[in-house]
Amino acid sequence: MKICMIGTGYVGLVSGVCFSDLGNDVVCVDKDLNKIENLKKGISPIYEPGLSELIKKNYKIGRLKFSTNLKDSVIKSDIIFICVGTPTKKKTNAADLSQVFDVSKKISRFIKSKFKIIITKSTVPVTTGDIIEKIISKGKSKKLFSVVSNPEFLREGEAIRDFIYPDRIVIGTDSSRSNKILKNLYSPLISKGAKYINTTRRASELIKYASNSFLATKITFINEIANLCEKININVEDISIGMGLDKRIGSRFLRAGPAYGGSCFPKDTKAIVNTAEKFKINLSLVKSVIKSNEKRSLLLLNKLIEILKGKIKNKNICFLGVTFKANTDDMRDSSALAMIPSLAKKGAKINYYDPTGEKNVFKKIKNVTFINNIKSAIHNSDLVIIHTEWNDFKSINFKSLIKKKNFIVYDMRNIYSPLKMKKAKIKYFGIGR
């Protein structure tokens, strides 16, 4: 099939590359010329395990193309995926749909005689598909196109595996013609065990927000239980295991840690609350999840200050990992964005190491330095903070690498055993234990 992905970011690039790997002709379009030129040279704009190899392979075969020409790409394609960003609108909780509507207007101009399916893979609030349909239908027959919702559930860092082996594929459309075409497009994944669900467009849009809000709630729940565990000397990891073994609950997303971040949960929880308010529904549970999560970085900062007995000035603090989680270079809404500037302001000297390299956002902050290896980054530390769970951080010999005698390790991902750390005479703190 001939497919066009509009927006070559985390979602558009990964899905486009995977669709081409499944044998389709795919063109990935972006307005960012630099990104497209680099992709043509085989340079991926994002860190995602396994992605570069698939880009090179499919580009070489000719099944995968990159372009800034939206007109040509839309005209030549049968299926058009909208994969642009839907961030939070400034000063509100609403999703900013300007990129989606802008692209819809452009697509509308190039639908002339051949039937096309326009799909929102971007996460969009319920009823957005209705608005896109109105935009595209101006001055043309509805027989020429169909607007479908097909939300994406991939996780950064596991994106290729998640795309190829999804738990479910959700297609929101009343059009049996579109449903048949899309079931065929996804048939290689369905034959590998993915569940295919055809529902209404509005239900499909809401499934995505409801899923992300639920996962954010699960994380926030265990984070709050961790706060309680710290007060009563219980290990939250035991609670996660004990709860997670109940099949009705499940163990995933039940690990305590820093505030959830990333490109989805913070904005999607806010957007669903905003959408519900438009329909005069109060999602009080999601609202308190948002509040609790927003307070969490401050809560961990206060714990950190307590650990350092209030003496932050001139302390050498090292962050291992600054992205919102491991195996991604995505800094969006990472809790490090709240913690690092605040500690630097209080006079701490901060080194950080991240396997995905230096981050622009910290370049201008005084006393915040990127060090390109773990060994040098932690060498002079008073306090090491394990902020993300990269494999690289899982077996560090702190005693031999840190020169300070009374250094402290604050393990925000509970990677290390408190008992082993005690035996090694390392001052160690985790989350909820």
Ligand X SMILES: NC(=O)c1ccc[n+]([C@@H]2O[C@H](COP(=O)([O-])OP(=O)(O)OC[C@H]3O[C@@H](n4cnc5c(N)ncnc54)[C@H](O)[C@@H]3O)[C@@H](O)[C@H]2O)c1
Please tell me which residue in 4, 28, 264, 318 is annotated as part of the active site.
264
What is the Cα–Cα distance from 191 to 158, expressed in whole angstroms?
20
Least distance (Å) from ligand X to the CB of residue 328? 8
Our CA dihedral for 4, 41, 360, 293, rounded to 10 degrees, sits at 40
Residue 221 tokens read as 């729940």
Least distance (Å) from ligand X to the CB of residue 129? 13
Active-site residue flag, 264: yes
Burial 348-360 (b: 16+ CB within 10 A, else e): bbbbbbbbbeebe
Least distance (Å) from ligand X to the CB of residue 312? 34
Looking at residue 325, the DSSP 8-state letter turns out to be S
Task: For residue 386, give the H/E element and its range.
Answer: strand 383-386
Residue with Cβ nearer ligand X (107 or 409):
107
What is the Cα–Cα distance from 168 to 140, expressed in whole angstroms?
34
Residue with Cβ nearer ligand X (199 or 417):
199
Least distance (Å) from ligand X to the CB of residue 414? 24
Residue with Cβ nearer ligand X (92 or 373):
92
Residue 352 tokens read as 């950080």
What is the Cα–Cα distance from 95 to 74, expressed in whole angstroms?
25
- The SS3 assignment for 271 reads helix
What is the Cα–Cα distance from 124 to 82, expressed in whole angstroms?
10
What is the Cα–Cα distance from 266 to 270, expressed in whole angstroms?
7
Least distance (Å) from ligand X to the CB of residue 12? 6
Beta bridge partners, 429, equal 410
Count Cβ atoms below 10 Å from residue 165 Cβ, excluding itself. 12
Residue with Cβ nearer ligand X (213 or 263):
263
Residues that bind ligand X (CB under 6 A): 6-12, 29-32, 35, 70, 83-86, 99, 102-103, 122-123, 152, 154, 156, 263-264
Least distance (Å) from ligand X to the CB of residue 383? 31
Residue with Cβ nearer ligand X (99 or 173):
99
Residue with Cβ nearer ligand X (173 or 263):
263
Residue with Cβ nearer ligand X (44 or 122):
122
Q: Please give the single-letter amino acid code of residue 282.
A: N
What is the Cα–Cα distance from 50 to 283, expressed in whole angstroms?
39
- Closest to 215 in 3D by CA, of 249, 169, 168, 246: 249
Exposed, middle or buried: residue 231 (CB in 10 Å: 0-12, 13-18, 19+)?
exposed
Looking at residue 152, the DSSP 8-state letter turns out to be -
What is the Cα–Cα distance from 291 to 98, expressed in whole angstroms?
27
Residue with Cβ nearer ligand X (47 or 407):
47
Least distance (Å) from ligand X to the CB of residue 293? 17
What is the Cα–Cα distance from 370 to 91, expressed in whole angstroms?
32
Least distance (Å) from ligand X to the CB of residue 86? 4
CB 189 within 8 Å of CB 166: yes
Our CA dihedral for 372, 374, 377, 378, rounded to 10 degrees, sits at 180
Give the residue closest to ligand X by C-beta: 9
Least distance (Å) from ligand X to the CB of residue 258? 18
Give whole-number Cα distances, 92 to 23, 96, 132, 280, 286, in Å: 42, 9, 22, 17, 16
Residue with Cβ nearer ligand X (109 or 399):
109
Alpha helices in 308-381 (DSSP H): 336-345, 360-363, 374-378
Active site residues: 264
